[in-house]
Amino acid sequence: MLILIDCKTSSILLILMKISLALFLSLYCITCIAQRTITGNVSDTDGEVILGVSIAIKDSAIGAVSDFDGNYSIVASIEDVLVFSYPGYITQEKVVHNNIQIDVILNIDPDIEPITYSCFQRFYRNTAYLQHGVHNGMTGVLFESSGDILPLKWNSFFSVNYLTDFDTNNYLNIKYRKNSKLGKKFYFSNSLELESTRLDNFQYDSYELSFNKSILISKKDKYHYLNMDIIAGYIDYHSDMSSCSFGYGIGLGKELFDRFYLGTNFIHWNEFNEYNVEAIYSINRFRLIANYRNINQFKDLQLGLGYRFHL
C-alpha cells in the first residue's frame, strides 16, 4: 500500500514538474520577446555627437553610456522608459514601445550652468571652412574653436576669417566670445569682434562689442530659444566718402528647424547702415555656411563648406 502511494505521489510530482517547466519556458519566451537590444545616437542641436551621456532604464539600476561617436546600446522591454541625461542639458525620457533604434537630440538647459568633465566633453570643438566671396572674387578660410587647439576654457569661443584675391583685396574678421553668469541663473555671453576690409577703391576697419542672451520663447516649440544681441561699435570707413563714427544695433538668431540656424543683425552708423545675414546648416561633421554683408558700398556673399574635428 505504501508502495502504491509512493508511486502515485511520484506520478503527481512528475506531472507538477512538467507543468512548472512548461510555465517557466513560456515565461522565459515571453520575456525574450518583450526584451530587445535598443541602439541609437545622442547629439546636440548643432548636430554634434555627445560623449558620456547617461542612458538609464527608469526606476531600475540598468544603464549605459554613449561612446565617442555618441552611440549606445541597452537591453530593455517594450514598456520601459529610457532616461537620457547629461550635465548642462535638458533630460529627456523615451518610451521603448516597439522601437529598436532611438536617436535623441538634447537641448541645452539655460537654467543650469553647463559642466564639462575632462573625459566627457562635447566632441567636435573645432571647425575649419573653405570659403569664397561671390561679389569680390576672394577665397579663404574660416577657423572656429571653442578650445582643444587654442588654450581657451570650455566656455570661450574664438574665430578667424580671412579671404583674399591674392592681390590687393583682402578681408579679415577676428571674433572672441566668452560665456558668463550673473547671479545663480542669469547666463549670457560677451563678444569682441574686429573686422578689416581692403579693396581697390574702398576700405574700412570696425570694432564691435556685443551682449548676447538666449531667450525662452515657448516650451512647446522644439527650437524655442531666440538669441538676441545688443551691439555697440566704432567704424573707420573710407571710399567716395570718409566716416569715423560710433554705431549701435541689434541682432537676432534662431534655429528654425533641425540643424538649420539663421541669424541677422542691423547696425546704424552715423551716415549709413550695416546689414548682416548668416545661415548655417549642419550635416553630421560637415557644415554649410552662407554669410551676406552689406555696408554702404561694400556688398559680399561668402559661401563656405566646413568640417568639424577634434584633436
- Please check whether the two domains, 37-106 and 126-309, share a CATH topology: no
| Check whether domain 37-106 has CATH 2.60.40.1120, yes or no | yes
| Check whether domain 126-309 has CATH 2.40.160.40, yes or no | yes
CA distance 154 to 179: 9
In 3-state terms, what secondary structure has residue 83?
Answer: strand
Identify the pLDDT of residue 265: 95
CA distance 140 to 291: 14
Identify the pLDDT of residue 304: 96
Q: Where are the domains of the chain?
A: 37-106, 126-309
**33-74 pLDDT tens trace:** 567 889 999 988 877 788 889 999 998 888 888 887 788 999
The pLDDT > 70 percentage for the chain reads 77
Q: Which residue has the higher pLDDT, 154 or 274?
A: 274
Average pLDDT of the chain, as a whole number: 81
> Would the CA dihedral through 211, 215, 221, 222 be positive or negative?
positive
For cell 587654442, name the residue.
150
**244-284 pLDDT tens trace:** 999 999 999 988 887 899 999 999 998 889 999 999 998 87
